[in-house]
Amino acid sequence: MLEKQISLDYVQAMKAKDSLKSTTLNFLRAQIKNICIEKKLKELEDVDVIAVIKKQIKQRLDSIEQFRNGGRLDLADKEEAEVAILKFYLPEELSEDEIRKMIDKAIVETEATSMKDMGKVMKVVAEKAQGRADNKVVSSLVNQLLRAKV
């Protein structure tokens, strides 16, 4: 579904001669196609497409930092515009409160009692969040809540 939307938007960007958007989406489509080939699938699930988009965003954020440090603000601005295009395809992020509630339920569900159980809790939360929560935030909150239990 998401993969098809990206392809349709790519075609529209090409017709509109929007080079930034078409280049960004074309590169994203290529990455998605590479994952399809790697996994021997015809089409990716939306969760997998979201993972590819997040990876692309992370790479661009790293580039933005490097360009800013190097004084190349023009390239940093271009990367920021690409990040904005990519973020459009991500589902709405969960709030910290929603993530905390999800973690609390996962702790009860997995009967987690210590930091040793962090992996179990993270797995359950990741399945329920379906790409709508930043893993760093989730990891930090799980860490906090499990330490509070000890």
Q: CATH number of the domain that 112 lies in?
A: 1.10.10.410
- Whole-number Å distance between alpha carbons of 81 and 94: 23
Q: Is the pLDDT of residue 39 over 70?
A: yes
Same-domain pairing of 105 and 132: yes
Q: Per residue in 82-126, pLDDT tens?
A: 999 999 998 888 888 888 888 888 888 888 888 888 888 888 888
- Whole-number Å distance between alpha carbons of 141 and 133: 11
| For range 33-47, the mean pLDDT | 88
Sign of the C-alpha dihedral, residues 124, 127, 129, 132? positive
- Whole-number Å distance between alpha carbons of 139 and 150: 17
- Whole-number Å distance between alpha carbons of 123 and 118: 9
Give the count of domains, the chain: 2
| For range 53-66, the mean pLDDT | 93
DSSP E strands in the chain: the ranges are none
- The 3-state DSSP class for residue 92 equals coil
Same-domain pairing of 102 and 73: no
Residue at which a domain ends, from 64, 87, 110: 87
| For range 24-49, the mean pLDDT | 90
Question: According to the model, what pLDDT value does residue 150 have?
Answer: 60
- Whole-number Å distance between alpha carbons of 88 and 54: 11
Q: Per residue in 64-77, pLDDT tens?
A: 999 999 999 999 99
pLDDT: which is higher, 131 or 106: 106
Q: What is the mean pLDDT of the chain?
A: 89
